[in-house]
Structure 1
Amino acid sequence: MTTWSEHTVENPLKIAVLISGGGTTLRNLLDRIREDQLPLEVVLVISSSSKAKGIAYAEEANIPHQVVTVAQHPDKADFSQAIFQACRERAVELVVMGGFLKQVAVPSDFVNRVVNIHPSLIPAFCGAGFYGIRVHTAVIEHGAKVSGCTVHFVDDHYDHGPIIAQSVVDVLPNDQPADLAGRVFDAECQVYPATIAAIAEGRVTVSGRQVTVQPSV
């Protein structure tokens, strides 16, 4: 069983955010931490690309950032080691994937300490090759009536770890993929920070694949 100690604004949970592109999830987290006084502190940003626009958000917020690429570390084990060693050096307690498009091998000391959000209701429309607009296109082509997003712990398989929270979004009759993507992202902006805050507040317990989230007081 995995549990977390309770953190406060004065003693925040230290998180690292992993990005690959525009950094919209990072920006949303920073906004929510500032506006909603969440008990979180972003102490490190790691990008899988030196061209990721999201690095600018780290620079604006004076957050230490690093670039770790597959070109530098072609072996997945070495790539993962470089990322998690950087997290250890910053005493990171939770790793948050924010549009991070590379697969990592989660080391034993970070099991149930890496989270991701996927833009569908896992186990539907997920796995290798399902990312970005591809997900929403597949949802519409399949004729699904609802979609949404899923916050889950990361293991060594795509979109496979224990589910923490899900948010449902209706698929409307005339939806184009971009329309659905926009509404799903709006849901992501709500559920992801709230779920990470629940972990920080000690309200999340993991037993096998079963995750319990206690309501806030």
Structure 2
Amino acid sequence: MQRFAHFSLFCAYLHPIMKRNIAIFASGSGSNAENVIRYFKNNRLLAVQLVVSNKIDAFVLERAQRLDVPSVVFSKKEWESGHEILELLATYNIDFIVLAGFLLRISDSLLHVYPDKIINIHPSLLPKFGGKGMYGDKVHEAVVASGETESGITIHYINEHYDEGGVIYQATCPVLSIDTPADVAAKVHALEYAHYPRIIEEVFSAAAAIE
């Protein structure tokens, strides 16, 4: 585990007690993670308290630093066991987990502790173009190659299988015959930025209200 904390744990506990805490798991650039962090910066009920990654060179770590959010990197072995990650999440009093371009399978131990409290966004209309290895530009390339006339996003709960958790929300965009994978990616990113933070807020606010 490699830690990149940007303020003390004491500071983390200064947030109002009524707030519920979110951890973001991310593997890459982190544009969705930054969008989510900014969205919840002054939220009354929910706050992003932690960014967790599996890659020490992931640009999301730099984004987290700029936004004063602590970040931690775990090895693949640590992700597979999940125990050290659970200890960290408990330290930060994490109630919910958001995946934002996170490429590893979530361990069974995390699924057990966070049932229906981990959500992901996928850059296609699942069940199309989902599953292990289908992420980022690979999805958009497959969409264009298949001749699809629309694509979009799927926000869904996480289970033990890649991209097979219950669907929460989908939004669509047209795929034109002249569109390149980069064109489709731009349309899908716009949907991600517009909808993901809002759906996170709706889902987790509702979950917090019934606990």
Instruction: Give the letter for the 2:27 counterpart.
Output: S
Indicate the residue corresponding to 1:67 in structure 2: 73
| Seq. identity, % | 31
Equivalent residue runs for 1:5-154 within 5 Å: 11-34=18-41, 37=43, 39-70=45-76, 73=77, 76=80, 78=81, 80-107=82-109, 108-154=112-158
The CA distance in 1 between the partners of 2:87 and 2:99, in whole Å, is: 16
The CA distance in 1 between the partners of 2:152 and 2:85, in whole Å, is: 29
Q: TM-score, normalising length from structure 1? A: 0.82
Across the two proteins, how many residue pairs are aligned to each other?
192
Is the CA contact (8 Å cut-off) linking 1:32 and 1:38 kept in structure 2? no
SS at match of 1:148: strand
Superposed CA offset, 1:88-133 (max 9, x none) = 2211111111111111224312111111100001101100111111
Is the CA contact (8 Å cut-off) linking 1:38 and 1:197 kept in structure 2? no
Is the CA contact (8 Å cut-off) linking 1:198 and 1:204 kept in structure 2? no
The CA distance in 1 between the partners of 2:146 and 2:88, in whole Å, is: 41
Instruction: Give the letter for the 1:62 counterpart.
Output: D
Superposed CA offset, 1:43-70 (max 9, x none) = 1111111111111122122222111121
Q: Which runs of 5+ in 2 are unaligned?
A: 1-15
Superposed CA offset, 1:144-195 (max 9, x none) = 1111000111111100111111111111120000110011011011111011
- Which among 163, 167, 172 is matched to residue 163 of structure 1? 167
The CA distance in 2 between the partners of 1:95 and 1:127, in whole Å, is: 20
Indicate the residue corresponding to 1:208 in structure 2: none
Give the CA deviation at 1:12.
Answer: 3.0
The CA distance in 2 between the partners of 1:203 and 1:179, in whole Å, is: 36
Larger relative contact order, structure 1 or 2 (CA cutoff 8 Å, min sep 6): 1
The CA distance in 2 between the partners of 1:34 and 1:16, in whole Å, is: 13
Q: Which runs of 5+ in 1 are unaligned?
A: 1-8, 206-217
Tell me whether 92-101 or 38-47 shows the greater mean CA deviation.
38-47
The CA distance in 1 between the partners of 2:148 and 2:17, in whole Å, is: 44
1:75 to 1:48, Cα distance in 2 relative to 1, 3 A: closer
Instruction: Give the letter for the 1:105 counterpart.
Output: S
The CA distance in 2 between the partners of 1:135 and 1:152, in whole Å, is: 17
The CA distance in 2 between the partners of 1:17 and 1:75, in whole Å, is: 14
The CA distance in 2 between the partners of 1:89 and 1:34, in whole Å, is: 21
SS at match of 1:121: coil
Give the CA deviation at 1:10.
Answer: 8.3
Is the CA contact (8 Å cut-off) linking 1:17 and 1:45 kept in structure 2? yes
1:52 to 1:128, Cα distance in 2 relative to 1, 3 A: same
